[in-house]
Structure 1
Amino acid sequence: MELQGSCHCGKTGFTVISHTPCPVAHCFCSICRKTDGGSGSAINIMGDYNTLKVRGKDFIKEYRAIRDPDTGELCGNMRYFCGECGCHLYAYCEEYKDNVYPLASAIDTPLPKVDPVEEAVYLMNDYRADWVNIPTGAKHVFGQYPDGSLHDWHVENNRYID
């Protein structure tokens, strides 16, 4: 499925092919909470890095967060934002070089819906802000990371798109 995404001001945009387009994983780590606002989480999906086409590259800014302030260790993800309006567009990590992680909030293409109680995954809850509520009865809540990946979830739930 081709996904089209853009920033708020329209100076940047991108397209990417995704086999895993369901916005399922809500991440509450401090980095996602601080850089993505809204619900206090980032909702990442996954795309094929080799198909990523970016418009307005002159406006794109990069940010690599500090994972551990005590040691200065950097996060593996490089985050890409519009330098004009500040919208977080996608993340990339050398460790998983075949994938790019666009934020669901940056996608303009209609995305498949995910049931917030039965299907959605809420991860890094050890870092979730107290004011953020997870739906009552949510079945997939993790203090850190779950064992499975975005790819695994899409396959196991018959949501993988060829």
Structure 2
Amino acid sequence: MLHLKGSCHCGAVAFEVDTIAPVPFMRCYCSICRKTSGGGGYTVNILGQSSTLRITQGADVVKSYRAVKDKSAAVPVLCQDRFFCPTCASYLWARAEEWPEWIYPYASAIDSELPTPKATASIMLGSAAKWADPRELRKAEDEVFEEYPTYSLEQWHKERNALA
């Protein structure tokens, strides 16, 4: 178990969360991640235990956005809630109703030292912007997926003995 501290850029919001899976390895290139928080064309989430989330500063100002997975569908398919600071627009963490035991802090919001991944995965490349496609930049041990991989963040950490 690793205790993490995070914050937004302007300092209005600070939070803490515990994780068993602290290695930031999966870069998501889906249009939601790219447009809401991915300056490099992707975002990186880590796995946090939702029961341990504690907003230590700014709980009254944190805002959320519920992303829509498919805007063209007759009935919109909702995705994760994404929490952010309304002052500086820093994304802080995401949460999905399907997995209430987890939150997904953005690695970019974490102030604690995180382990360096030995390999990474780039996912949702079917949605990647052409200018952000990582296929030519990856290391041999990195994985690439056109869609979401068959394993979870927790599973990836377990298979690589990367649990805290």
> Does structure 1 conserve the Cα–Cα contact (< 8 Å) formed by 2:4 and 2:111?
yes
Name structure 2 gaps, 5 residues minimum. none
- Partner SS, residue 4 of structure 1: strand
Alignment partners' CA distance in 1, 2:162 and 2:68 = 33
Q: Which residue of structure 2 aligns with residue 11 of structure 1? A: 12
Structure 1 counterpart of 2:123: 123
The code of the aligned residue for 1:49 comes to: S
Q: Structure 2-normalised TM-score?
A: 0.92
Give the Cα–Cα distance (whole angstroms) in 2 for the partners of residues 136 and 81 of structure 1: 30
The Cα shift of 1:11 comes to 0.4
Aligned residue for 1:40, secondary structure, equals coil
Identical amino acids, percent of aligned pairs: 41
The CA deviation at 1:154 is 0.6
**Structure 1 spans left out of the alignment, 5+ residues:** none
Deviations 1:11-36, CA, capped at 9 Å, x for gaps:
00110000000001100000000011
Q: What is the RMSD computed on CA atoms of the aligned residues? A: 1.2
User: How many angstroms does 1:137 deviate by?
Assistant: 4.3
Aligned length: 158
Using the size of structure 1 for normalisation, the TM-score is 0.93
**What is residue 38 of structure 1 aligned with on the other side?**
39
Give the corresponding residue for 1:70: 72
* 1:59 shift after superposition: 1.4
Q: Could you tell me whether the CA contact under 8 Å between 2:50 and 2:100 is conserved in 1?
A: yes
Matches within 5 A, 1:75-114: 75-114=78-117
- In structure 2, what is the Cα distance between the partners aligned to 1:38 and 1:112? 22
Structure 1 residue 133: deviation in Å?
3.9
